Amino acid sequence: MELNNIKHADGAKHAKRRVGRGIGSGLGKTAGRGHKGQKSRSGGYHKVGFEGGQMPLQRRLPKRGFKSTTLKYNAEVTLAALEQFGAAEVDMNSLKAAGLVAHIARVVKVIKTGEITKAVKLNGIGATAAAKAAIEAAGGSVA
């Protein structure tokens, strides 16, 4: 085998389609674009969603709903998760370090899902009214 004998595998390379190069090529004259119309012309095409001047579907349908961009910064922690966490004092950094809330979270709130028996002191973390009552009943506090 010599360097000048090396070839690509069969089917690995194929000739580029050359349009508009005569009748014998099979893609001469109109070059595969058909006759007349917007799609046959150079630079002639429409934007996405264009329906020939008819009111497009995305404008015919009603607008509905709203998704807040600040939701990703809010996080929830359950009473059951606090019970398993088992720390006497809980703040934002300890929850992030334990992986109970995302690192992007800015606001954390405790919700009443599950039960808590250990006394827990919350620093800089909110709680729903029912969760606050449950924490204080267990001997904890919400600061």
Domains recognised in the chain with CATH numbers: 14-64 (no CATH), 71-142 (3.100.10.10)
Whether the model pTM is above 0.85: no
pLDDT tens digits for the chain (143 residues)? Answer: 899 999 999 999 999 999 999 999 999 999 999 999 988 999 988 899 999 899 999 999 999 999 999 899 999 999 999 999 989 999 999 999 999 999 999 999 999 999 999 999 999 999 999 999 999 999 999 98
Q: How far is CA 133 from the centre of its chain?
A: 37
Alpha helices in 1-143 (DSSP H): 57-60, 79-85, 92-98, 129-137
